[in-house]
Amino acid sequence: MFETVLVPTDFSKYSQKVLECVGGLPGAKKVVLLHVIGSSKPLARVLDPKDKLNESMKKLAEQARILEAQGLFVIQRAEPMLEGDIFRRIQAVSDEERVNLVVMAARGKGFVRNILLGSVAKSTLLYGDKHLLLMRYKMLEEGEGHLEEHCSMIFSKVLCPTDFSEPSNEAINIIKGIKGIGEALLFHVVTSGESWEQIDAKMKEAAIKLSAIKAEFEKAGIKASARVAVGNPVEEIVAAAEEENVSLVAMSSHGKGWVTQLIVGSFAYEVSRSGKRPVLVLRAGKAP
């Protein structure tokens, strides 16, 4: 499914842990390991820029061995960039290497306790056009849990929010085709209603639609369940992910009312920013 994966690394403990999980991604064969030497680093002021490049390549080689031990073919790239956003270089490399998926830590070296999404991860999420897997680790962030659970079992129980829009349906079809999913929890949030009767009618309608999608998953050999909630979509999705102890939230980058543009929808962004679970953001029109 995701044969060529781009892994941007800043050599932080968060990006280091991402490497240990890549081999478990369905269909992963080749990894482009990328380090961008950004404009905030003193590359332009050092006497010999090659020293910084050599240092980066040495660290990349060390990280590449972690990936190669998982049976992956690794391409190492250290990219100097004296001006502009690191995200732009990530996007350019992902286009050059024709990657199917970008995998990165939700946080990096610039981690501050109250910042829930690192600046590079945020830009990649908002403006990128490749499927994106944002990894989070309880063991690193909260001092609890086990990292191994996130790696070897990341597709063991997947929360699949949907608003029944075309982009959401497209994301559901992609998820349904991913090999190795243990269980899928189909989830819809009713967000409005003039009366409780109207809300109840919308919930019943959603349950019928989810039941049809559930049947499709089961036909594909994936255990599935369905759940309907009422309230704020972001809050309900984040809450359901914790209550159901899911291993991953997989959702479309856009929903109802979306327009053809690169910027990600607000719901996908807020879930990625405030949630505590890994999030797979699937771009509309970008089947692997």
- Decide if 126 contacts 269 (C-beta within 8 A): yes
Give the pLDDT band of residue 258 (cuts 50, 70, 90).
very low
Strand pairing class (131-135; 279-282) = antiparallel
Domain range list for the chain: 4-143, 155-282
Whether residue 259 has pLDDT greater than 50:
no
> Can you give the pLDDT at residue 52?
82
Q: Classify strands 248-252 and 157-161 as parallel, antiparallel or unpaired.
A: parallel
Structure tokens at 266: 């607000």
Please, are residues 106 and 272 in contact by the beta-carbon 8 Å criterion? yes
| Number of Cβ within a 10 Å radius of residue 76 | 17
Whether 4-143 shares its CATH topology with 155-282 is answered yes
The per-residue pLDDT for range 170-184, each reduced to its tens digit, is 999 999 999 889 999
Joined tokens for residue 244: 């159901």
Q: How confident is the model at residue 133 (pLDDT cuts 50, 70, 90)?
A: very high
Pick the CATH number of 4-143 from 3.40.50.300, 3.40.640.10, 3.40.50.620, 3.30.70.240: 3.40.50.620
Are 130 and 87 within 8 A, CB to CB? no
Question: Could you give the 3-state DSSP secondary structure of residue 207?
Answer: helix
Instruction: Please tell me the distance from the alpha carbon of residue 108 to that of residue 191, in angstroms, as a whole number.
Output: 34
**pLDDT at residue 169, rounded to an integer:** 93
- H or E stretch covering 175: helix 166-176
**Cα–Cα distance between 240 and 246 in angstroms, integer?**
8
DSSP letter at 235?
H
Q: Euclidean distance between the first and final Cα of the chain, in Å? A: 6
pTM for the model stands at 0.86
Buried b (16+ CB within 10 A) or exposed e, 9-25: bbebebbbbbbbbbbeb
CA dist 285 and 288 (Å) reads 10
Q: Are 107 and 77 in contact (CB under 8 A)?
A: no
DSSP annotation string for 10-54: -SSHHHHHHHHHHTTSTT--EEEEEEEE-TTSGGGTSS-HHHHHH
Per the rule left: phi > 0, alpha: psi between -120 and 50, beta: everything else, 238 is alpha
Lowest mean pLDDT across 112-121, 124-133, 176-185, 212-221: 112-121
Mean pLDDT of 260-280: 75
Dihedral sign, Cα of residue 209, residue 210, residue 211, residue 215? positive
Q: Quick one: pLDDT band at residue 123, thresholds 50, 70, 90?
A: confident
Segment among 27-31, 213-217, 280-284 with least mean pLDDT: 280-284
Residue 139 pLDDT class (50, 70, 90 cuts):
very low
CATH 3.40.50.11540 fits 155-282, yes or no: no
* pLDDT the model gives residue 112: 39
> What is the rounded average pLDDT of the residues 148-173?
84
pLDDT tens digits, residue range 61-104?
999 999 999 999 999 999 887 777 888 899 999 999 999 999 99
